[in-house]
A and B are shown apart, each in its own frame.
Chain A
Amino acid sequence: MDIVNEVLQKAARDAEKFKPITVEKHLEVDLDPGNLLAFDTNEVEVAKLRSNSEEYLKNLTRDNVQILLNKVWELPTRRVEECVVVELPKPSYIIPRSLPVPKPREPTKWEKFAKEKGIVKTKKSKLQWDEVLKKWIPRFGYKKAAAEKEKDWVIELKGNDDPMEDQFEKKKKIKRENVAKNELQRMRNIAAARKIKVPQAGMVSADRLSSKDLHKAATIAKSSTASGGKFQASLPKEKPARDVRNLMPIAPPPKKRKAIITPADEKKTTINIIDKILNKTPRLDIEAAVNRELFNQDSERAEEKRSQKPKAGRGGKKKGGTTGGKKGRGAGKPQVARGGKAKGGKDAKGGKGGKQAGRGKGKRR
Chain B
Amino acid sequence: MPSLQRIKKPTTHRGKRALLRKEPQIIEDTKKAFFVKGKKTGPLLADFLKDLYALKRPDAAMLSRKNDVLPFEDTSFLEHHGRKREANLFAFASHTKKRPNNLILGRLHDYQLLDMVELGVEKYTAMKEFVIEKIGVGIKPCLVFNGDVWSQMHEYQRVRNLLVDFFHREYLETVALQGLEHVISFTAADGMIYMRSYKIFLKKSGQKTPRIEIEEIGPSADMKLRRTKLGSDDLFKTACKQPKMLQIKKKKNVTTDGLGTKHGRIHIQRQEIDKIQTRKMKGLKKTAAERKEERTVLKKRRADLAASGITSKRLRTEA
Binds A, one of B21-29, B92-100, B263-271: B21-29
Q: How large is the interface on B (under 10, 10 to 19, 20 to 34, 35 or more residues)?
A: 35 or more
Which chain A residue has the least Cβ–Cβ distance from B195? A57
Given known A41-B148, A60-B146, A61-B196, contact A36–B180 (CB-CB < 8 A): yes
Cα–Cα, bound, A247→B4 (Å)? 16
Which chain B residue has the least Cβ–Cβ distance from A91? B171
Q: Which residues of A contact B248 (CB under 8 A)?
A: 90
How many of chain A's residues have a CB under 8 angstroms from any CB in B?
67
Instruction: Judge whether A38 and B143 touch: CB under 8 Å.
Output: yes
Instruction: Judge whether B144 and A68 touch: CB under 8 Å.
Output: yes
Instruction: Judge whether B24 and A100 touch: CB under 8 Å.
Output: yes
Q: Which residues of A contact B1 (CB under 8 A)?
A: 197, 199, 202, 247
Q: Which residues of A contact B119 (CB under 8 A)?
A: none
What mask results when residues 177 to 203 of chain A are scored 1 for a CB within 8 Å of chain B, else 0?
000000000010011000011110010
Given known A85-B176, A196-B4, contact A44–B214 (CB-CB < 8 A): no
Cα–Cα, bound, A102→B141 (Å)? 29
Q: Which of A14, A44, A72, A99 has the most CB of B within 10 A?
A: A99
Instruction: Judge whether B145 and A38 touch: CB under 8 Å.
Output: yes
Q: Which of B25, B174, B200 has the most CB of A within 10 A?
A: B174
Q: Which of these, B2, B180, B187, contacts A44 with CB under 8 Å?
A: B187
Please provide the 3 A-B residue pairs with the shortest distance between their CB atoms, ordered closest to farther.
A96-B239, A44-B189, A99-B24
Cα–Cα, bound, A53→B24 (Å)? 44
Cα–Cα, bound, A245→B187 (Å)? 66
Q: Which of these, B142, B151, B194, B211, contacts A41 with CB under 8 Å?
A: B151
Given known A88-B172, A88-B173, A95-B240, contact A69–B190 (CB-CB < 8 A): no
- B238 is an interface residue with CB less than 8 A from chain A: yes
Q: Which of these, A50, A85, A93, A196, contacts B175 with CB under 8 Å?
A: A85
- B103 is an interface residue with CB less than 8 A from chain A: no
A235 to chain B, nearest CB (A): 25
Which chain B residue has the least Cβ–Cβ distance from A98? B88
Instruction: Judge whether B178 and A83 touch: CB under 8 Å.
Output: yes
What mask results when residues 197 to 224 of chain A are scored 1 for a CB within 8 Å of chain B, else 0?
1110010000000000000000000000
What mask results when residues 120 to 147 of chain B are scored 1 for a CB within 8 Å of chain A, else 0?
0000000000000000000011111111
Instruction: Judge whether A101 and B243 touch: CB under 8 Å.
Output: yes
Q: Which of these, B25, B146, B178, B190, contacts A64 with CB under 8 Å?
A: B146
- B213 is an interface residue with CB less than 8 A from chain A: yes
Q: Which of these, A21, A41, A60, contacts B209 with CB under 8 Å?
A: A21
Known A-B contacts: A40-B147, A61-B196, A202-B1. Give 18 more (CB < 8 A): A19-B205, A21-B205, A41-B150, A60-B146, A61-B214, A62-B212, A65-B183, A87-B174, A95-B240, A99-B24, A99-B109, A100-B109, A100-B239, A101-B24, A191-B5, A196-B5, A198-B4, A199-B3
Cα–Cα, bound, A70→B168 (Å)? 19
A26 to chain B, nearest CB (A): 11
Instruction: Judge whether B24 and A49 touch: CB under 8 Å.
Output: no
B58 to chain A, nearest CB (A): 17
- A134 is an interface residue with CB less than 8 A from chain B: no
Instruction: Judge whether B185 and A61 touch: CB under 8 Å.
Output: yes
Instruction: Judge whether A99 and B28 touch: CB under 8 Å.
Output: yes
Instruction: Judge whether B236 and A190 touch: CB under 8 Å.
Output: no
